Amino acid sequence: MNCTLRRLAALAACLLPLTAAAAGAPAPRVLVTTAPAMLRTLNEDITVYGKVEPDPERLRALTTLRPGEITRLWVGLGQRVAAGQRLLEIATAPQARMAYAQAQGKVASARIQLQQNEDLFRQQLSTRGDLANARQALANAEAELKALARQGAGRSSDVLRAPEAAVVTQLDVAPGAQVQAGQPLLMLGAQRHVWVRLGLEPEEVARVHAGMPVRLQPVFGGAAIDARIAQVHAVVNPATHLVDAVVRLEGDAASGMVPGNWMRGAIRLQTRRTLAVPRSAVLGDRAGSYVFVIAGNRARRVAVHTGIESDGMIAVSGQLAAGDAVVTAGNYELGDGMAVRIAAEAAR
């Protein structure tokens, strides 16, 4: 027993210096990276996608006023055309030419009848009623002839030309096709007038309104365009299951837009001047959001309220001031009051 006690006393004597050294050693310090909180202008944007399409208010359907046959076609679907450029040639149908010839005959006959009635009236061999009926018959025959002339029935063929610089957005005929009066032949969309129809999630609609700035960027590369929202629709588009927000482009801004091209839009919801920190500086738990501020090489937990985010920065408010050094890396290892080493100082 005495031997065992002597051994324990000797072991305690050996461990005592180590325990004392450990008690006097400084606590380990966490290596962190910091950045200053600063006043910045932050923009809140939402990103949406959509397609370029011809401005429906500037679409023009070309039709024929008489039956005929398409004899020549100079354009194709999607082709750009200049003002005055030939589009197609249509030959007047035989029945339309015949109707015009018959109308000419009616006019000639009505004139002869009127002349005869005037001669008889001067000889007191016809009444004023007969003379009035003859004049009315001539007026009716002339009106019918003018209507057929306006329809082009008196011409053997016509060439349709583009009324303005446009894109052929729809083509419904081919050479040899028989067409009827009023039948659409093709559709033209004005070149320098397009819409960009962007899709909004239904929950975002309340935050977007006409007049808001939007930056448009072709998805597959191209120059960005600054524009504004022209209108926000109030129903869900059944094709996309999103709500349409329309951007109208005109002039030079629209000249390079190709209908059907995909576009990405960044809609600017708000711009604020606020205190901001890097997004990585903000942590959260059941108590809410917080950051660690370094003062005297120790970390102090500070509760914050967060706001809009932009370009990796986030707006914060609370017991925080511009210039305070907040921890941006290493903060997950920290607790309130812990000692730290700042990365830049550790490198020196």
3-state secondary structure 121-145: HHCCCCCHHHHHHHHHHHHHHHHHH
Higher-scoring residue by pLDDT: 125, 174: 174
- What is residue 25's predicted lDDT score, i.e. its pLDDT? 46
| 17 occurs within a structural domain | no
| 176 occurs within a structural domain | yes
Residue whose tokens read 């937990």: 301
Asked whether residue 172 falls in the same domain as residue 267, the answer is: no
Render pLDDT for 292-345 as a digit per residue (tens, 0 to 9).
999 888 999 999 999 999 889 999 999 999 999 999 999 999 999 999 999 865
- For the chain, state the CA radius of gyration: 42
CA distance readout (Å), 164 to 64, 90, 194, 252, 325: 18, 20, 14, 16, 63
What is the domain extent for residue 144? Answer: 94-150
Question: Which amino acid is located at 153 in the chain?
Answer: A
* Domain-ending residue, one of 223, 255, 271: 271
- What is residue 207's predicted lDDT score, i.e. its pLDDT? 93
Asked whether residue 319 falls in the same domain as residue 297, the answer is: yes
- What is residue 22's predicted lDDT score, i.e. its pLDDT? 42
Q: Is the pLDDT of residue 111 over 70?
A: yes
Asked whether residue 170 falls in the same domain as residue 318, the answer is: no
- What is residue 28's predicted lDDT score, i.e. its pLDDT? 67
Render pLDDT for 176-212 as a digit per residue (tens, 0 to 9).
999 998 889 999 988 888 999 999 999 999 999 999 9
Give the whole-angstrom CA distance, residue 89 versus residue 340.
Answer: 84
Q: How many domains does the chain have?
A: 4
Q: Is the pLDDT of residue 275 over 50?
A: yes
Q: What are phi and psi of 275, to 5 degrees?
A: -75, 130
Q: What is the DSSP string of 94-129?
A: HHHHHHHHHHHHHHHHHHHHHHHHHHHHHTT-S-HH
| 24 occurs within a structural domain | no
Percentage of residues of the chain with pLDDT beyond 70? 91
| 5 occurs within a structural domain | no
Asked whether residue 79 falls in the same domain as residue 104, the answer is: no
| Closest to 174 in 3D by CA, of 69, 38, 257 | 69
Percentage of residues of the chain with pLDDT beyond 90? 60
| Mean pLDDT for all residues in the chain | 87
Q: Which of the four pLDDT bands, split at 50, 70 and 90, describes residue 85? A: very high
Q: What is the mean pLDDT of residues 218-239?
A: 92
H helices of the chain, in order, are 2-24, 94-122, 128-150, 252-255, 343-347
Asked whether residue 170 falls in the same domain as residue 216, the answer is: no
Asked whether residue 328 falls in the same domain as residue 216, the answer is: no
| 215 occurs within a structural domain | yes
Asked whether residue 129 falls in the same domain as residue 234, the answer is: no
